[in-house]
Structure 1
Amino acid sequence: SLRARKAAAAAALQAAERLLAQEHASGAADFAGLAARSPRELVQLWDELQQAAERWREAQLGPEGGASATRRSDAAGGSRPGANGRRAARYRRFLQAGAALTLLLPPALWLTGAPPVSVWSALGLLAAADLWLWAALRAAGAAVAPPEPGGGEAGKAAAEMLRLRGQLLSGAARESGKASSPDAGGLEAGMRELRRLMEAWGTWRQRVDRQAAEAEACRTEFEQLSGQEQVLTGELEEAEARFTELAARYEDWLRQRRLPEGLSPDGLPDIFALAEQGHELLRQEAKWSARLSGLAAECALYEQEGLKLLAAAETGRVNSISFVAEQQSLPAAPLTDQHRLPATNPTAQHSPATPAAPRHPTPAALLTWLELRKREWDQLKAELLRRESVEARLAEVREELAANHREQAELNLRCSKLLEEGGAEDGEQFLRRSSAWLRRIEVTRSVRQAELAMFSGWDDEGRAELLSLLEHLDAGRLAQERQAAEEAAAELEEERSALLEQRGKLLQEREALTKRGKEDTALQQLEEQRAALRNLAGQYAVTALAAELMGRTRRIYEQEKQPQVLQLASVYFSKLTHGEYRRIVMTLGHKELKAEHKDAGLLDSGLLSRGTAEQLYLAIRLALAETMSSKVNLPLFFDDLFVNFDEYRLHAALALLGELSSSRQIVMMTCHRHVAEAVAGSIPAAAVISV
């Protein structure tokens, strides 16, 4: 959530500020000897101090220093004259090569992806080699007298070093620096101590800058989260206000509808559903109650009709019984239809075919009689429905007939109006007059089209003139006028053709003159281009000759004037790669290391593979160790040097180390079993020690 992120950001900010404060406190305690200046001023003073130290060293190694050293060595009964100078010059060249490698090799290892441990190890070894060369250079030269103020270039450089050192250090450190020895050894010791201090200060400044950047990033994140929290808080307050207003309106709505006050909005749909169900049940109840009432009324009516029928049937039965009793009391006589009394049936008067009620009504006979009556009633209802439909259809037909009569009257009225407007007495005369009117319209349209075709594009004056000619001249005169106009038009056409021919000739002459002028201009431009080309050819010859001479000079320098370290490294590199690469070259001007392939030529060290690049750096390292061993063969220490070597490169490197082990001690440390086994197999004299 946002609060958790804000709390985490606040905790991270506090931790970063606490670490930054600790770094500042530790730096203030550890680097109290430095002057209270800005980091940029301290770096600038340190750079100026290093430049002054370089000038002082160069002055120490200059002709005056060499001469004084020679005089002191001659006075002490040293070696032959000039030997120390040549040795110093050789050490100076080695020191320059070592300084170049110190500057180039660690960045190259870093760019090739080497582990940081390897980079720092290489930097430390190269720095140690540079210090050893510097010590050897000092040993080869004469001891330098303590610098005196104003005593030559060395004295000026020493005074500048002391001044810059005083500006770089604080008061207590400056007093201790003044108390130290001002001779060459004291200056070198002070520079070494100051270099260690400045390196530690640079590392501390990097940590401080990193912690400050982290603290700033945490602060920025905390401010962003705080801003988001404020925005969300405002939105939440607005939402709460809207919710409060809606809650009040909801409470009013509940009170108006007499609903429970604690009813939640989520329960309203259920309440509405129950209300709808209740209304539906009430509607169904009313519907079924009405239907039940109708059915009860029908049952009561049915019972009344049944009782009436039963009463009628009972009356007929009584009549028949009395009639039989009377007949039994009279003498016997044939019973005819005239003596029978009809049954008293109210419906018999309306329907002659209606069967009489049974004399002795049994339930089955009564039901049969009721079914017959019901069938007759159904037939009567069907007849009534058919009669109603026929009457409805008859009403529709009557309405349609009335509408047709009205339409006929309207048509008769319109026909009378048309005849009156057309001035005709009957329909036939109206048709003839309409045909004549249509013909007139067509003729009028034709006349208009002819006028448009004749006078299209004519103005009013020309149109009037043409009409005047047509009115005053006959056909013959018009033919003569037309012939004269055609002859004049033919003459004008001939004149136009002659003018067009003359125009074409003039255009041809103009094109010929233009072409001739363009040829002269093109010839002039061609001569100018040729002159410019001759100038460029001369410049190209000079430039090409200069480039060839510079290339030859460069090749001579790269082939013959390379330092001894690179020459020896080229031999080792060729052995390590089995002749795949011939030599290592440092290009003139750019100070870049390149490897010469037997087929591809010079390749930049950054383009080499990881294993080949490490072979190159191993060859340079072995060459540096060999060139520094003019007096004492120092041992070589290697820690997991062959991590990125395949079997082919491993055996080549072990073969070269086996050759070098005859003149110096080589100690290799590894945690890989196959490397130890390869060393034991390639170098029989090697002693394998397992820890």
Structure 2
Amino acid sequence: MKLQEAFIEGYGRFHNRRLDLDAPVIVVYGPNEAGKSTLFGFLRTMLYGFARRSNPSLRSEPLYGGRHGGRLLFRDAFGKSYYVLRHADEAGGKPRLREASDSWGTAYESASLEERMLEQREWEAQYLGGIQERLFRGLYAVTLTELQEVGILSGAELGRHLYQAGWESGGAVAAAEKEINQELEQLFKPRGTNQRMNANLRKLEQLEAEWRRLEDSIEGYNQCKQHEEYAVKSLEAIADRLPKVQLKLRYTQKALASRSAWLRMCQAAAEAEKYRYTESLPFGAEQAWQDWLNKRQASEGKRDVLKQEAGRLGRQLAEMHYNDSLIARTVDTEAALQSAERMHALREQVSEWENELGLLDEAIGGLVTSISPEWTERQLRELNVTIADRDYARTMQERAHSLLRHEERLASELDALRLQEKEMVVQLDEARSRMQRANEVLHVSERGRFSLYPASKSGLMAAWNELDDALREWELELGPDSEAMHRSSIARRTSWSNRMAGAIIAAGAAVVLGGASALNWLGEARMLGAAAAVGAGGVFIGLWISLRLRDPAADSKPRSVGGRSRRRTVGQGEQRVREALAGMMKDAESRTEEFLEKYRQSISSKSGSMFRGMIRQEVQERIEALGEYEIWRMKHDEAESRLARYRESASEREAAADELMRRSEDFSRQWREWLSARSLPGTMSPSAALEVFELAESALEQLKRYDRMTIRREAACMELSRHERKAAQLCEGVESAERLLQQDAAVGLQALLAECRRHADIRREAIVLEARMQEVNLELADEVSKLDALGQKMSAAIGEAGLALEAEYAAALEHLRLWTELEEERQRLQLELTAGLADEEWEEVEQLLIHADEAMLSGTLEELRQEEAGLINDHRELLERKGALGAAMEQLLQEGERQRLLAEREMILAGLDTDMERYAVLSVSKSLIERTKRIYEQERQPIVLRNASYYINKLTEGRYLRVSADPSRSGIRVEDRDNTVLDSSFLSRGTAEQLYLSMRLALAKESSQSTKLPLMLDDLFVNFDGNRLKAAADLVAELSGERQILFFTCQEHTRDALLAACPEAKLVDLDTAAVKS
């Protein structure tokens, strides 16, 4: 089975999560609490169902919603893909199987979506190889908890734990064996007193003593009892005889099955005895003799080759001749030839220099002409441009640019100021005309019905507030409805306070905009800001007047309306009204009485509010007129002020322009004087002067280059002359070189060098041949000595063996080889015959093989089988007879004391029978467990241990080679590379964990030959060092070729090691839900 994909609809922390598992190795990585254990549990649930609700940690109900369960895509051993679906709310969590189509290696759900409900037992039998959940947990799901348990144990406990790891359900078997021993000790001990069977036997003895004291005869009962005891003894004899017969039957079957192999073993032993005399030969004699023969043959061949080579070298040396004096010229010739090549290049360079000097002369003339047509080379050489001259020219250039920019800026500012001045004149005229109109409206408001005379808004508002308060006070003195009017006044005051906030905001806006405009913060929009400030102020004033006129009682203080207070203030309200009118009206003295009379009439006719509203309306109009006049007066003053500032700024800019003109004239004069002092044209600009400096420097550089090149050309001509004289001296005496030297010095020197090298090569070859001749002679002498030494060794070996000739010694070696092969065959057959048998068991089988032929063994086997069948039949008949006797004994029982004793005795006997039966069952179970362990150790454990040896060798990089069992102590031993056997209790924690893992992997391999379920490993490499972690990763990659492996880890280095060792592995990163190949 191979998992391909998992889709988790709802399980623990996962919700609608799809994971790709189609790879031989799946590395599930994530930090703590990322969901590795949850995924581990989901895969186990898909295979073996949901846990009970009483175990919520294993059941893993969905935390974030979704249907509890999911589906798993897998491929069986025949390459067919299926979906297995499980949901806790459907069919009790039973598996539902759906076939998946397969296209180009990719499985997908078939269109039919046909599902087949399976029972768990049927699902396990068909697709899980019959492996149940408990066995799956023990074999294919290895967790870190198990390795941590290995780390906690020590000594004998560790040995037993590792020993049990090599069994199927080894831990469960050990636990059962321990429980059986404990229960056996509770039932019976030979010298015990508190055990149940021991206590019942004492009670039985007491009852039998009382029974004997009874007078009635019980002869019939005793006879039945005797027959029953005889039947019991016969059963015990059969129980004792039957295992022996079965054991003998097993030995006979083994002897009959292994007779042919035993005969071959005996034959091999007899044949080996003929060649036993070769045991006296030393170990490795055959290999040593063969080595000596090979060495002697090689030495003889090498000796002949060396003799031939020595003759050939002598003939070559006799034919060689050379001249030492000519060889001595080689070094000087090589140096001259190197110089010749350089001289040729130098001759070409001289020609190039002459051409370049002509070009430089033309370039220098052009540069001087560019500076000035009157300039000459002498003037150019005399010119000395300093850093100060350059700095002065740059400074004058910057000053010229600065003056130009300043002049342009002043012109631009002056134009802008003149434009602003024109605009401000227009605004001033408009403000003056609007202010005059507002003043006329203000004079008209003074001639109203009430002739209001305060000329300021604050004064008018204060006078109106005083009059409004006085009128309300007077109303309270005059009218009977003063209480209701007072409450109405309070309500209007509350409404007024709410609307007053708007007025305050408008006033604040007016102050801010007006200040910004006055301080010129608004720039071009300052006139607009001033207008907005005035508008906001007008809004504030209008709101203030409207609120005060609509709710004149807003500022009035609460007054007492009680009868006693009213009598105290009679006349005060009227007096206060008179005073308020005097401060508000121009002709108050003449019109006060008329006003008071009208107001009394309006109060009596309940129209006092209307009369007061007329006054309020005129006050409001007066305040609006005052506000309008103030706004335009402020605009007029602001326009006059800004116009004055604009004109003042324009005057300042004109004065600055005049000053700038004077500075420009001074600058021009200084620059012309500086140019004149350096013989430069007066019309030249600072930029042109800097360019002239660059031209002059370039021309001077060309002059310096012209001078240097002239000097080098003269030196080169002198060197060429010296080289020609030297070449003539070297070629003297060599006719071919002298002839070629006349044509070309380089060619002549090359001919001379070739001749010198030819003679040098001849001399060098002669020296090499002489040295080789010495080496050949030495090697020849060495080979002769080797042959003598080999002959002595071979003669000594023949003499030690008691032989005289080499042929006899070779025959003895052949006999030794045959004896070794026969001994190995005998030992192999003996191992096959004794496999699974103890030493004493093999002795019994061997005795049968020695004293009986095949026919006798067959007859004995048949007799034993018949005896076994007879004993089984007798056992069954005796059991039936015992039952009949028991029934007869029950009929002989009577009432009374004897009946009581008998009943009590029977109860004790029944208890003893139960305990004895339980004791027998436990003893048989213990014997079966021990026998099963022996059979397992004899038949299956060798294979498990062999696989475990291979795995521990891989995990420890060859440090431990073999794993073996210690049945006497139920322990495990390991053998290291030095062939030292160590008990598992002496291993380190990490090595013990690796040994436990090896045993588990070996058992999984041996127990799943038919169906290869995936291995699920939970972070097992935590305590492994770097080298063993790499070895473990390589082992995982190797095992992935047999079955799929899912490795869960939170360690980054473990993840990286597995991915590096397994190129086809896939990474499932639970932190990002990504799958990487």
Higher RCO (Cα < 8 Å, 6 or more apart): 2
More strand by share: 2
More helix by share: 1
